[in-house]
Amino acid sequence: MQISKRNIVAGGLLIALVLATGCGRKSGLEYWFVDSLVKVFPDDAAGSNELAEADFDAARNSNVSIQLAMRSDAPVGDLYVDVHALSGPGVPIDTIAVRWVDHVVVTTNTANTPREELVREAPALFPDVIFHEFPITLKKDRTTSIWITIQVPAGQAPGVYRGRIRLRQGTEPFAAAPFRLIVREATVPSPIPLRITNYFNLSDRHLQQFYGCSQYSDCWWDLIRNMAGFMARYYQTSIGADPVQLAKADIVGGQVRYNLENFERFVETFKAAGVPGPIEGGNLLERQRRRDATMMVPAWINDNGKAALQEVPFKDPRAQQFLNTFLPALREVLQRRGWSNDYLQGILDEPNEWERADFVQTAELVRKYLPGVRTIEPVGAKQDLAFMEKTVDIWVPLLGSFDDKLPEMEAHVRRGGEVWFYTCLAPRGKYPNRFIDYSLLKVRLLHWINYKHDFKGFLHWGGNFWGPAPLLDTQPVINEGRTYLPPGDAYITYPDRLGRSFYSSIRLEQMREGIEDFGLLTELARYDEAKADEIAAETVKSFTDYVRDEKTFRQIHRKLLVALSETKASRISQGIK
């Protein structure tokens, strides 16, 4: 077998690979390091975007992604990839995950986006989902990549660590790709002071389709626990627990009585898995998709002697009775569990002007029955925000809608409010976002925006809203066929059916590293705010003017690591914590 050395030492052991077809032909296999911010496509020629040196910078208490591309002129089967513990000045680093990237179908590009803002024109296969199962078969003339994630412990001794990516067929190793990891004194703080919410579809129908687990069964609780643990590893902080949907209800003496044991267990499951909160309780109101439509309340009602969860018009006395009895029942649970200050109540997603009366009336009920509970709402920053001031504590405007509304956001914060931002179907064009046909830098820099503007959180609707075939259709149609989604907007994970969990995506990996960047910037700002602001401004000048190539970003990121490392070292030498 002919193996390209490129920046790789083959160790002298070059063996003929036995192909998956069993035909006995030899193959030419080439492999090379590519920056993990660069997407590797199936038709990339050998050596495309090859790194000049296999050196990678790392902070302590961080995750570092390393990507090795591979291409062969014939199929290669029974292929395994290993990474041994990295050796260096401290204890060996052995917290390493080895996975591989597969390609998904993108039928059309994100609309209203200039060509230069896309990484490739559709239709095409795009790298996204990351699988962990080995062995794999490398297809003929199709480039794919191995995704290595190294978790650097918080107490790791700084210095240069050496590692090797070993390729083997079956038990027989045939080559090694050496690399170096430069661990800096800089340390990602724990916890990172940023709220992260990805909404997840946990409906019974959705989860049964992919996992076969009926709601509240042992299988379902096992699935919820696994999902929570997965989300915690990617810095999800919010627990999406809608008490109305999770409640059970009975009719006692002709009245509806609520049982919130499943809500309590759900929250406890997430907390035990490492998702700290806040608890996001969903919305009390729902709208139909017409301007003149009746506002609805998902309410538990007495339906011919049985408790039933139905959508009831807001003005219906049954809806009002529900709100006036359910909210006090929820208050009792929150106070008993000590969750009142950690619970966030939604009212109506992006309320419109003509919905003001119902919105305000419901917000007043929340203030009345849930003292100490803050309200949170995705808001349309292009509308009049005046009626939001007294009703919504945490504003979450859509990125791209508030470029000229920053003074209003800052005023809300001065009055004791809080501001996050969200992405959903938009923004497009030159703005950062998480779409599959956008660069990975656009994903990572979302959290540099959080630092630059002192936003406290990020929300995205699409955690796992898969269609029937997530790898083949990354653009599901929603809203009864009226909305064709941009690629990847509906989900940033993929279903791991056998593991009852999620598979990650390269977008989610870079989102995690962007959150860690936010942590590093905030940590540097504790010691030298001007320097942190300077580095952030060099990376993100405005919402549409930011670093767009990975080499420049890596230089700035290294500057951040060095600045924080030198600052910490100086303070330590002076005996300052």
User: 3-class secondary structure for 491-548?
Assistant: ECCEEECCCCEEEEEHHHHHHHHHHHHHHHHHHHHHHHHHHHHHHHHHHECCCCCECC
Report residue 355's pLDDT band, with 50, 70 and 90 as the boundaries. confident
Distance of CA 351 to the CA centre of its chain: 25
Q: What is the DSSP string of 131-199?
A: E----EEEPBT--EEEEEEEEE-TTPPPEEEEEEEEEEETTEEEEEEEEEEEEEEEE--SS-S-EEEE-
CA distance linking residue 568 with residue 577, whole number of Å: 8
Task: Kindly tell me if the per-residue pLDDT of 5 is higher than 60.
Answer: no
Task: Kindly tell me if the per-residue pLDDT of 23 is higher than 50.
Answer: no
Instruction: Give the pLDDT confidence of 283-320 residue by residue, as tens digits.
Output: 999 987 666 778 999 999 999 999 999 999 999 999 99
Mean pLDDT value of segment 372-392: 84
Report residue 478's pLDDT band, with 50, 70 and 90 as the boundaries. confident
93-107, 121-135, 401-415: least confident range: 401-415
Mean pLDDT value of segment 178-191: 98
The reported pTM is: 0.94
Report residue 14's pLDDT band, with 50, 70 and 90 as the boundaries. very low
CA distance linking residue 519 with residue 59, whole number of Å: 11
Report residue 25's pLDDT band, with 50, 70 and 90 as the boundaries. very low
Residue 218's SS3 state is helix
Instruction: Identify any residues that bridge with 494 across adjacent strands, giving them in sequence order.
Output: 503
CATH number of 2-187: 2.60.40.10
Tokens of 146: 């191995």
| Residues 6+ away with beta carbon under 8 Å from 462 | 198, 199, 424, 434, 488, 489, 490, 491, 492
Compute φ and ψ for 410, nearest 5 degrees. Answer: -65, -35
Task: Kindly tell me if the per-residue pLDDT of 340 is higher than 50.
Answer: yes
Instruction: Identify any residues that bridge with 313 across adjacent strands, giving them in sequence order.
Output: 296
Task: Kindly tell me if the per-residue pLDDT of 8 is higher than 60.
Answer: no
Task: Kindly tell me if the per-residue pLDDT of 476 is higher than 70.
Answer: yes
- Is 485 within 8 Å of 208 (Cβ atoms)? no
Report residue 1's pLDDT band, with 50, 70 and 90 as the boundaries. very low
Q: What pLDDT does 350 receive?
A: 85
Average per-residue pLDDT in the chain? 92
Report residue 335's pLDDT band, with 50, 70 and 90 as the boundaries. very high
Mean pLDDT value of segment 513-536: 97
Tokens of 29: 């296999």
Write down the H helix ranges in 342-499. Answer: 356-369, 406-414, 440-444, 446-452
Domain boundaries, the chain: 2-187
